[in-house]
Amino acid sequence: MKKIFKVFGYLLAVLVVFIVGGIVFVNMSFPKVSPAQDLTITSGPDRVARGAYLANHVVVCVDCHSTRDFSLLSGPIEPGTLGKGGELFDQSMGFPGVFYSKNITPTGISDYTDGELYRLITTGVTNDGRAMFPVMPYPYYGKMDPEDIYDIIAYIRSLDPIDNEIPESKADFPVSLILKTIPQDADPQPKPAKTDQVAYGKYLVNAAACQECHSPVDAQNAMLPGLEFSGGRAFAFPDGSVVRSANLTQDEESGIGTWTEDMFVGRFKQYLDSGYHLPKVQPGEFNTVMPWTMYGGMEKEDLKAIYSYLNTIKPISNQVVKFSPPVTSE
């Protein structure tokens, strides 16, 4: 019996050494991306204007990096908070840790070079070599045309500076270890010509990371393979209510298979109609995390291109329960 315990002790010691060695290896070897480029982005009115369009209406960086007023439908941005950061993503929302969006005004990014900002946006690696949890969907941004990323950088450098100290984000173990392996070098793709409507729509869908929110995930928030764009991802509000993303596939019963181009574009543009006012939302009532007013500012031709691309996605039957009110105890 003593011999058995002795052997077990040796095996346990080997296992501990293996685990500790693995942790040390990951901490020392990752994230494994190329150094930041020696990059200087020449700013100008056209570049800043294009960056403003992308950051506010396509990539919607300002969605997470500002304060949203969820007392109104879809949580429009509160005036005076553009880029200040501080939005919280934590375990109550299904995240494996506590994460805060960063201050992306000139105050918050003053210690970043243009090359470091480009690497951060496209790989998720900070200027001190830390890996970010992909709340910001940098794997998608890494596939964008570099010129579009340059435009966004020029734009955020033009924002009004706001002093707002952001707490450090912290991932739970073992995700704190795993996330170091997520970043990889960007794989930039040239922006297709607008005349190639489907290809350009696919580019915009990637830039907007539509797939990220409009796909079901497992308990670890990993996307379920083969069900991309079929909707159903749950987003919890602090009051306990839950909203779920829509099915964007061509399924006629549960998706958008019966939608016309005009219906699709109109769904976004209605929020910018001069006669439309975002309704007040009381706790427990239906609300949505979808930033309709931001996406509503997208150019019609870009929305039409997105519609064209979504028309190529295979139908997947997934009847989504759009909203669940908070569960109240009797």
Cα 204 to Cα 195: distance, rounded to the nearest angstrom: 14
Per DSSP, the three-state class of 271 is helix
pLDDT tens-digit series, residues 169-215 = 999 999 999 999 999 999 999 999 999 999 999 999 999 999 999 99
Taking the mean position of all CA atoms in its chain, how far away is CA 290? 12
Tokens standing for residue 237? 């509000």
pLDDT tens-digit series, residues 86-104 = 999 998 888 889 999 999 9
Please tell me which residue, 327 or 156, carries the higher pLDDT value.
Answer: 156
What integer is the mean pLDDT of 266-278?
92
Any bridge partners for residue 131, and if so which? 125
Neighbours of 95 (CB within 10 A): 18
pTM of the model: 0.91
What band does 20 get if pLDDT is binned at 50, 70 and 90? very low
What integer is the mean pLDDT of 17-22?
42
Tokens standing for residue 117? 């900002």
Rg value, the chain, Cα: 22
Minimum mean pLDDT range among 117-121, 133-137, 143-147, 190-194: 133-137
Q: Are 99 and 119 in contact (CB under 8 A)?
A: no
Domain boundaries of the chain, sorted by first residue? 1-30, 32-189, 192-330
Tokens standing for residue 128? 């001190």
Please tell me which residue, 96 or 113, carries the higher pLDDT value.
Answer: 113
Place of tokens 């150094």: 35
